[in-house]
């Protein structure tokens, strides 16, 4: 029985968040690498500035083994719909769940996902990997989702209609990693079409071969990247048909793309942990093209930034951090996006030295200002009033409000 959401956060007592930060010790590894004795399931050199791209596997404590039969029954039902003639002969066995962590140069954690491995008893190439799209393990991804989608909802966009599939929605993700963010969005928004841009084909291959990302959204995959040919139809129930992964340079893609996006997520650091200048140059081609490709009223852009302050990351059991001081570089990036979109704010990511930047159209977010009310109070008030709408519409297992309020700062 679902808990009554009378008080903020009360519902979270009844919804299990498998990506809660309390589980991070299962996959965090060591500060200088994956850790001793950890299994490496993918390792390949990048020609796109990311150095060595690797994926490490760690045992996951959840779901517990007593819950695996329910997943096996779901797989069996899905298989029966696809192959009614062989329903009795095909059987499925869940082999387990793992955390899969992508790193650049064995150091920088680029992406974390929970992956299920299962086996079909008949046929060839019958081992399947499926990323668990409801699990967001890294706090900065939850921060991007919470702040970005709430800002979109504040700009007169009907989020529940897109979630239910009654309205269409177009989303762009720049930077792919393991694909946890686009899969989460595709699973939560039935009306969404999601385009992903990733410059590095090695990163794309790693996500498909080792992190359970569906293969069919990707064009031009090498043969060794392919799992069983029916894997996507069996595992994803049509979600994969609304996801399109483009191996391309973001500047080139956005310059030639004809879509108009409701929201854009940008998480594009290279192997040296650098956010490319061309993705924030206020006078550059990328920013000018991006402004044209985002909806003129409610269009929202969300950017993951690494703090360039001297703040240290908090311990895993610490409370939410207060505002991270923004150094010169991050301040320049924030101002560039504000200049192009009109309104911008940041939120500090808990437990990590990351900052979420959200840029919105001024007319959508800052409209309806009341005399005597500062822009900060207006924007924050709107966000706080809409956060519950986002949580309910998407059935989130985590609250948006703490991620929005944590270190909230307007960009000037």
- pLDDT tens digits along 182-238: 999 999 999 999 999 999 999 999 999 999 999 999 976 665 555 677 899 999 999
Using alpha carbons, select from 255, 275, 256 the residue that is nearest to residue 266. Answer: 275
Quick check: 315 pLDDT over 50? no
> Alpha-carbon distance 33 to 109, whole Å?
9
- Residue 246 banded pLDDT, cuts 50, 70, 90: very high
Maximal CA-CA distance, the chain: 71
Across-strand partners of 45? 52
The angle subtended at Cα 30 by Cα 25 and Cα 33, nearest 5°, is: 130
Residue 313 has a pLDDT of 41
- The runs of H, that is alpha helices, within 13-98 are 68-82
Quick check: 319 pLDDT over 50? no
Residue 318 has a pLDDT of 44
- Residue 5 banded pLDDT, cuts 50, 70, 90: very low
Residues 57-101 pLDDT 10s = 999 999 999 999 999 999 999 999 988 887 677 889 999 999 999
Quick check: 123 pLDDT over 50? yes
- Residue 39 banded pLDDT, cuts 50, 70, 90: very high
> Alpha-carbon distance 397 to 10, whole Å?
11
139-199+248-410, which class in CATH?
Answer: alpha beta
When the pLDDT of each residue in the chain is averaged and rounded to a whole number, the result is: 89
Quick check: 365 pLDDT over 90? no
| Domain boundary assignment for the chain | 25-131, 139-199+248-410
- Residue 178 banded pLDDT, cuts 50, 70, 90: very high
263-266/300-306 β-pairing: parallel
For the purposes of burial, counting CB atoms within 10 Å of the CB of 228, is it exposed (0-12), middle (13-18) or buried (19 or more)? middle
Using alpha carbons, select from 250, 258, 337, 249 the residue that is nearest to residue 301. Answer: 337
**Higher pLDDT among residues 373 and 24, named by residue:** 24
Quick check: 6 pLDDT over 60? no
For 57-87, b/e burial (b = at least 16 CB within 10 A) is bbebebbeeeebeebeeebeebbeeeeeeee
Residue 59 has a pLDDT of 97
Q: What is the dihedral of CA 173, 179, 181, 184, to 10 degrees?
A: 120
Residue 125 has a pLDDT of 57
- Residue 155 banded pLDDT, cuts 50, 70, 90: very high
Query: Helix, strand, or coil here: 164?
Result: helix
């Amino acid at each position: 029985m679902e808990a009554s959401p009378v008080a903020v956060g009360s519902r979270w007592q009844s919804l299990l968040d498998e990506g809660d930060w309390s589980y991070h010790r299962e996959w965090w590894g060591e500060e200088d690498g994956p850790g001793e004795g950890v299994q490496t399931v993918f390792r390949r050199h990048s020609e796109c500035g990311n150095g060595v791209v690797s994926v490490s596997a760690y045992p996951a404590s959840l779901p517990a083994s007593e819950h695996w039969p329910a997943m096996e029954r779901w797989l069996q039902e899905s298989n029966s719909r696809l192959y009614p003639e062989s329903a009795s002969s095909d059987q499925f066995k869940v082999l387990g769940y793992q955390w899969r962590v992508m790193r650049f140069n064995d150091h920088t954690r680029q992406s974390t996902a929970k992956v299920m491995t299962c086996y079909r008893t008949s046929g060839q190439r019958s081992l399947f990997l499926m990323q668990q799209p409801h699990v967001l393990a890294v706090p900065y991804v939850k921060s991007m989702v919470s702040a970005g989608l709430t800002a979109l909802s504040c700009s007169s966009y009907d989020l529940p209609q897109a979630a239910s599939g009654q309205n269409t929605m177009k989303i762009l993700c720049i930077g792919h990693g393991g694909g946890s963010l686009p899969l989460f969005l595709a699973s939560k928004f039935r009306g969404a079409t999601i385009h992903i841009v990733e410059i590095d084909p090695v990163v794309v291959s790693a996500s498909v071969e080792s992190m359970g990302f569906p293969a069919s959204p990707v064009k031009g995959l090498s043969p060794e990247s392919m799992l069983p040919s029916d894997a996507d139809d069996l595992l994803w129930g049509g979600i994969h048909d609304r996801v399109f992964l483009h191996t391309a340079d973001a500047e080139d893609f956005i310059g030639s793309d004809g879509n108009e996006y409701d929201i854009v997520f940008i998480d594009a650091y290279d192997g040296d942990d650098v956010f490319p200048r061309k993705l924030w140059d206020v006078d550059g081609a990328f920013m000018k093209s991006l402004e044209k490709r985002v909806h003129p009223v409610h269009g929202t852009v969300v950017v993951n930034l690494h703090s360039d302050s001297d703040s240290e990351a908090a311990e895993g059991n610490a409370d939410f951090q207060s505002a991270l001081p923004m150094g010169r570089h991050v301040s320049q990036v924030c101002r560039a996006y504000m200049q192009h979109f009109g309104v911008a704010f940041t939120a500090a990511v808990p437990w990590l030295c990351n900052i979420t930047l959200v840029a919105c159209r001024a007319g959508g977010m800052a409209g309806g200002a009341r005399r005597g009310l500062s822009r900060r109070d207006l924007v924050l008030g709107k966000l706080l009033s809409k956060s519950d709408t986002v949580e309910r519409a998407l059935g989130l297992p985590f609250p948006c409000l703490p991620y929005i309020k944590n270190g909230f700062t307007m960009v000037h």
